[in-house]
Structure 1
Amino acid sequence: MKVDILVAEIGSTTTVINAFSNINTDNPKFLGQGQAPTTVLEGDVNVGLQGAIEDLKRNLGITTLSYKEMLATSSAAGGLKMTVHGLVYDMTARAAKEAALGAGAIIHKVTGGKLRRTDIKKIKEIKPNLLLLAGGVDYGERDTALHNAELIANAGIDTPIIYAGNIENQEEIREIFKDKSNKLYVVDNVYPKIDQLNIEPTRKVIQQAFEEHIIHAPGMSRVRQLVTGPIIPTPGAVMEASKVLKEAIGDLITLDVGGATTDLHSVTEGSEEINRILISPEPIAKRTVEGDLGVYVNVKNIVERIGKDKLEEEMGCDVDELLQDHKPIPDTPRLKRFVEILTTEAVLTAVCRHAGKLRNLFGPTGKKIFAEGKDLTNVKWIIGTGGALTRLPNRIEILKKIAIQNKGDYLLPNKEAKILIDNHYIMASLGVLSKKYPETALYLMKQSLEIE
């Protein structure tokens, strides 16, 4: 059998492969999916990829499979590790962090101000795949970013560097790194003026740098030989899909509960009412990643959050027994119920961490209400993707609980927000597909979400 495109999604616990045909026609088709455990620990992710292809062939009832193109997303082996360094923590450092998260990175360290020896030591311990330097509005403060660049250049850190700070420093930055082994990317300032974010140029370059340099998991170089198109971080691909979809159907959030992390992507301008009282700017497209909320790798963190006694009462059995039987893909009603409880906790915690809040500030003229963080009150759609939220029996009920807990000061979606499920579990694949075939990707996304 010949298909147009295969898209591989190499996750931290599971590798998924999706097959598509009739690409770039009026009637593109999603043919089917295969999956297998990711084989990072065996020393070669290619084994898991081949296992997923074999599973796809079984599901399609075929013995041979050929394809014109293969694309891929990856979050295996810890995904795209980054450190971010700006001038003022709440301004340029935060803007740089938003750019990195939106591109699909996992942030291991953020600093504001001049780096110190202890910071350099920590960066060396982290061994980031990419390092993002920012600082100063355009034609503003220059010294901090230059000091940080000099320190990094002289510390023997050979990580690729992205500079996205004060444009007056660009030539100087090039000079600092010209004899160093670091690949240097220079882009527009992420924070060009006070209270103005410009994060899209940096996001694009982060994904480009990931593609060029980050063959980070064992066997990824062999996957690179198979793949004819880009390999981008899986969370970045989900963000791309969310942005394409927002243009078509309106403000939305996308939740992806995985084995290691829970990601939340919001694409919304927020309400006019909240924007008027917002303390600092927020990006239209924002991602948060909760590294402690995974339903397999980080299962013990979620069990701790819920509490063993409460969990045992709800499940009617011993939690330690459940943890012993726990698998990347639950295969019994009892394990599925267990994962549903874990997923509910992950979803509700992630949404509260992502959403902004109303705050009361008291001044000489009395109490004033301000808003801080991301406003989700205008969200019309709540989308579930990833293994847990596309496969669990009660996935819709889990997502409905987001609006039910909308009490108090959190800027959460309201009960009018509609629930959509990525039924084919192809959102990340369509995000990478949208880079080349945006109309095809949107068509297939709407099919998977079962919307006109």
Structure 2
Amino acid sequence: MKCYLTIDFGSTYTKLTAIDIENESILATAKDITTIEDDIMIGFNNAFETLKKEIEKTIPFSEVEFTNKVACSSAAGGLKMFAIGLVPELTAEAAKKAALGAGARVMKTYSYELNSKEMEEIKNAPVDIILLAGGTDGGNKDCILHNAKLIAKHKIEVPVVVAGNKAVADDIEEIFKEAEIDYYMADNVMPKINKLNVEPAREEIRKVFMNKIVEAKGMKNAEEFISGILMPTPAAVLKAAEVLAGGTDDEEGIGDLLVLDIGGATTDVHSIAKGEPTKAGVLIKGLEDPYSKRTVEGDLGMRYSAISLLEAAGSRKIRTYLNDTEKKWDVKGLCRYRHDNIRMVPRNDEEIFFDEAMAMAATEISMTRHCGILECVYTPMGTMFNQVGKDLLNTPFVIGTGGVIIHSKNPKRILEACKFNPQEPVHLKPENPKFLVDKTYILSSMGLLAQELPNLAIRIMKKYLVEV
């Protein structure tokens, strides 16, 4: 039996999926704790042994032939990045959108001409990559040149992806070659005002991840066993969402969708939609969002970020989801406990109920931040509205993934928190979506499979994503 083996080296768990290519089905899945501190293959081998036992329940393992073994990774904190641009509202924001779509976690964005203090901060920070942008094509040259010279002067040792004004591309290459900076050139992320072009930069970031970051994370041992680590895990999830939404020439997609991924450290939201205004009298304002958009909320997580989730949501919001009008729950203490015990697994109904209340708060806040917003404008012709970001009111599908959703007995209750709230009508959240759940944790593996077999990946997702 010919199978694909996909591996997701996660920050907490290493997850394996055996895909039966001939029968277009998931043969088995398994997971174990990721052992990045010692040898990442220890956790992998433990998971692989579990996978063998799961397969043996169906067929002899000796009959399985893994024709391809591919992986993604967010181990050791994933891909951490700084984005540098010209002005915050334009090229700095464009750089951030490109970085997020590539699966990176943007730690900070910088604007205008950097100073020495900022460069020292960048040099000493534990980041994996820098994205340098600035200026539209033929526009401002001084800012990006100044920043490139400072990067060279300070001998920045992490890879730099350059995606700014093409008029200075040759100058920057010369500066970086002379200073022996490890750099990669991409097309401008914003060649014209308010027009994004993020895909070339995303592709260069993925190349850097494959060529440099994997080695830096001590994952060479894994590459000896598998065909290659193709991309960061969030980029794999985004790839799966893109192919499921858009389809191919041979396999129809399901249309616009959102993916909500609640993890221990972050809550990620992916939207595959143009997000154009659906109401009359609404004009788009500012920088357009890419068709494939990802946001990462580093303060909304179930374990690592439990305290910051409490700070972002407030006790009152979490109590609302607990139906706790008499303040019987020690909300602060329970969030603190989860932060201090990041591998805690809820063992009774009370612990599950509290986790799900946290998840609902994370869902509501992350979706509010991801979706577009309406701004009221008064004109001589009457009241008009500007739309900043995407209008996702008519999005037909929301897909939930992440442990708290997958293991919930009532995932719809969590996902309902993402919906449009009539009391906050300026937030353009989905009004009446269908909810699908990634019960078998296959989205990242389908993103990997879609690199070579997109039609098969679509058919498997249609089969295994469960409507609730």
Match of 1:423 among 434, 439, 442: 439
The alpha-carbon distance between structure 1 residues 181 and 44, as it changes in their structure 2 partners (threshold 3 A), is: farther
Q: Which residue of 1 aligns with 2:391?
A: 375
Residue identity opposite 1:166 in structure 2: N
Say whether residues 1:203 and 2:202 are aligned partners.
yes
The alpha-carbon distance between structure 1 residues 229 and 28, as it changes in their structure 2 partners (threshold 3 A), is: farther
Residue identity opposite 2:430 in structure 1: P
Match of 1:292 among 294, 299, 305: 299
Q: SS of 2:93's equivalent?
A: helix
Output the CA distance in 2 between the equivalents of 1:445 and 1:254.
Answer: 13
* Runs of 5+ consecutive residues of structure 1 not aligned to the other structure: none
1:62-81 maps to which residues of 2 (within 5 A)? 67-81=66-80
**Contact 2:113/2:146 (CA < 8 Å) preserved in 1?**
yes
**1:450 Cα deviation from its structure 2 partner:** 4.3
RMSD of equivalent CA atoms: 2.5
**Contact 1:326/1:335 (CA < 8 Å) preserved in 2?**
no
Output the CA distance in 2 between the equivalents of 1:173 and 1:219.
Answer: 31
**1:217 Cα deviation from its structure 2 partner:** 6.8
Match of 1:45 among 32, 40, 46: 40
Match of 1:350 among 366, 369, 378: 366
**Which digits, 9 at most, give the CA deviation of each residue in 1:369-411, with x for residues without a partner?**
2111222123111111222222211112211232253532101
Output the CA distance in 2 between the equivalents of 1:160 and 1:256.
Answer: 28
**Which digits, 9 at most, give the CA deviation of each residue in 1:99-130, with x for residues without a partner?**
10011100012111111112101112223211
The alpha-carbon distance between structure 1 residues 397 and 108, as it changes in their structure 2 partners (threshold 3 A), is: same
**Which digits, 9 at most, give the CA deviation of each residue in 1:2-33, with x for residues without a partner?**
652211111112221111122xx5x4221111
**1:427 Cα deviation from its structure 2 partner:** 0.3
Q: Which residue of 2 aligns with 1:148?
A: 147
**Which digits, 9 at most, give the CA deviation of each residue in 1:226-266, with x for residues without a partner?**
22033311111111111111111111110000111100001
Q: Which residue of 2 aligns with 1:178?
A: 177
1:271-350 maps to which residues of 2 (within 5 A)? 271-273=276-278, 277-280=283-286, 281-304=288-311, 305-307=313-315, 310=319, 313=324, 318=330, 320=333, 323=337, 327-350=343-366
Q: Which residue of 2 aligns with 1:7?
A: 6
1:47-446 maps to which residues of 2 (within 5 A)? 47-61=42-56, 67-215=66-214, 219-247=218-246, 248-273=253-278, 277-280=283-286, 281-304=288-311, 305-307=313-315, 310=319, 313=324, 318=330, 320=333, 323=337, 327-362=343-378, 367-403=383-419, 405-406=421-422, 407-415=424-432, 417-446=433-462
Q: Which residue of 1 aligns with 2:25?
A: 29
Output the CA distance in 2 between the equivalents of 1:242 and 1:80.
Answer: 20
The alpha-carbon distance between structure 1 residues 167 and 47, as it changes in their structure 2 partners (threshold 3 A), is: same
Output the CA distance in 1 between the equivalents of 2:382 and 2:329.
Answer: 54
**1:49 Cα deviation from its structure 2 partner:** 1.6
Output the CA distance in 1 between the equivalents of 2:419 and 2:323.
Answer: 26
**1:419 Cα deviation from its structure 2 partner:** 0.8
Residue identity opposite 1:39 in structure 2: T
**Contact 1:12/1:260 (CA < 8 Å) preserved in 2?**
no
Residue identity opposite 2:156 in structure 1: I
**Contact 2:73/2:229 (CA < 8 Å) preserved in 1?**
no
Percent identity of paired positions between Structure 1 and Structure 2: 37
* Runs of 5+ consecutive residues of structure 2 not aligned to the other structure: 247-252
Residue identity opposite 2:95 in structure 1: A
**1:216 Cα deviation from its structure 2 partner:** 6.1
**1:161 Cα deviation from its structure 2 partner:** 1.1
Residue identity opposite 2:398 in structure 1: I
Residue identity opposite 1:30 in structure 2: I
Output the CA distance in 2 between the equivalents of 1:238 and 1:351.
Answer: 17
**Which digits, 9 at most, give the CA deviation of each residue in 1:143-164, with x for residues without a partner?**
1111111100110111111111
Q: SS of 2:68's equivalent?
A: strand
**Contact 2:161/2:185 (CA < 8 Å) preserved in 1?**
yes
Residue identity opposite 1:277 in structure 2: L
**Which digits, 9 at most, give the CA deviation of each residue in 1:253-301, with x for residues without a partner?**
1000011110000111123446951102121111100111111222223
**1:412 Cα deviation from its structure 2 partner:** 0.8
The alpha-carbon distance between structure 1 residues 119 and 13, as it changes in their structure 2 partners (threshold 3 A), is: same
**1:443 Cα deviation from its structure 2 partner:** 1.1
Q: SS of 2:284's equivalent?
A: coil
Structure 2 length-normalised TM: 0.88
Output the CA distance in 1 between the equivalents of 2:206 and 2:2.
Answer: 27
Q: SS of 2:290's equivalent?
A: coil
Structure 1 length-normalised TM: 0.91
